[in-house]
Copies of this chain bind each other. A is one copy, B any other.
Amino acid sequence: MVVTHLRSLQALELALRTGSLQAAAEVLWLTPAAVGQRIKALEEYLGVDLLVRGRSGLRPTAELSAALAHLRTAFEELDAAAALLNLQRGDQIHLAAMSDFVELWLRPRLRTFAAEHPQIQFCINGEGDAPLRIGDVDCEIRFGAEQPAVSESDLLFRDFVLPVASPENAHRLARLKPSERLEGFPLLHVDFYRDDREVPNWSDWAEAHGCRRTDPNRGIRFQRIQPALEAVGANAGVALCGLALSRESVERSELCFPFPVSTGRWSAHAFRADFRPKSVVRPQVKAFRQWLLAEATLTRDWLSRICGVSEQRPKPSRRKLSR
């Protein structure tokens, strides 16, 4: 009187709807083998074959076809109920990330991930496809020091900070002797890196590289990277800023280096992703994390190439990221 093998029935219906065990497996976030097992378990229980596995898709057997219509509507109804209950929450990933990171780095790259996983919805800092659910962040991305207390913390990349300018300004500065370039030139201050012990402010930098400048700490201050870069682009001055989030601008030569790359410094802090342990078991989150680390590696490698000096590699906190 009570239906058993609910998961088997679900796999069965989905396999027929999608046309293959593989496709069903993808939707169910399982391996194809698992889907086959689900179905086989039911077939063995009933002692009857339910699915004809042929080339060019799957077909229901005669025994099944009578019941198939009921199965379809049943799972349609369940989908409807699930939608009302917001049960598809599993497909939603909630991020909290600094807006610089989101706007400059994450959002442009996220398109590739979204293309591969159309059903996954994001809620980033409370906005996005997925509705906001307070206190329910799956992953927080920050720029800071290691926090040993946070178990599932991935180091994405450190930043590489050096003077940057617009092409015009860089060209203008290039005509001056390095030691004279800053004198009288407007300096932009990015407070984003203020707490990083390795990142110099203009005063430190000028002194370290024998560059003359009066009142090196005066000038416009920016809390965030993006407005600072915009100011740089608007020829407002030269900024001491990290490149990690600006690969595209650098590659399009919108952002230039008025001083040798060797005058730059790796940050002590790094962009890090902290995953909630409870979230990290979800296959959707696993997939996102895997993708995030892969993208971060690309950025890290690019940075290393740019600055000519390999960043000290972080000890990779190896964790199973498989499905």
Contacts and interface: CB of A to CB of B under 8 A. Distances in A.
A68 B85 CA distance: 10
Given A6-B6, A14-B2, A89-B45, A71 B67 contact: no
A73 interface: yes
Interface in A52-109: 63-64, 66-68, 70-71, 73-75, 77-82, 84-91
Query: Size band of the A side of the interface?
Result: 35 or more
A80 B69 CA distance: 10
Per assembly, the copies of the chain total 2
Given A2-B27, A6-B6, A47-B136, A77 B73 contact: yes
Contacts of A64: 85
A77 B79 contact: no
Given A67-B84, A85-B46, A75 B3 contact: yes
A9 interface: yes
B71 A81 contact: yes
Contacts of A81: 3, 9, 67-68, 70-71, 74
A176 interface: no
A71 B68 CA distance: 18
A254 to B, nearest CB: 40
A28 interface: yes
Given A66-B84, A84-B66, A1 B91 contact: yes
Interface string A38-53: 0000000111101000
A14 to B, nearest CB: 7
A273 to B, nearest CB: 23
A1 B78 contact: no
Contact of A89 (B46, B63, B70): B46
A223 interface: no
A7 B6 contact: yes
Contacts of A73: 73-74, 77
A133 interface: yes
A4 interface: yes
27 contacts: A1-B27, A1-B88, A1-B91, A2-B28, A2-B29, A3-B82, A4-B90, A6-B6, A6-B78, A9-B78, A46-B86, A46-B87, A47-B133, A47-B136, A48-B85, A67-B80, A67-B81, A67-B82, A67-B84, A68-B81, A70-B78, A70-B81, A71-B77, A71-B78, A73-B74, A74-B74, A74-B75
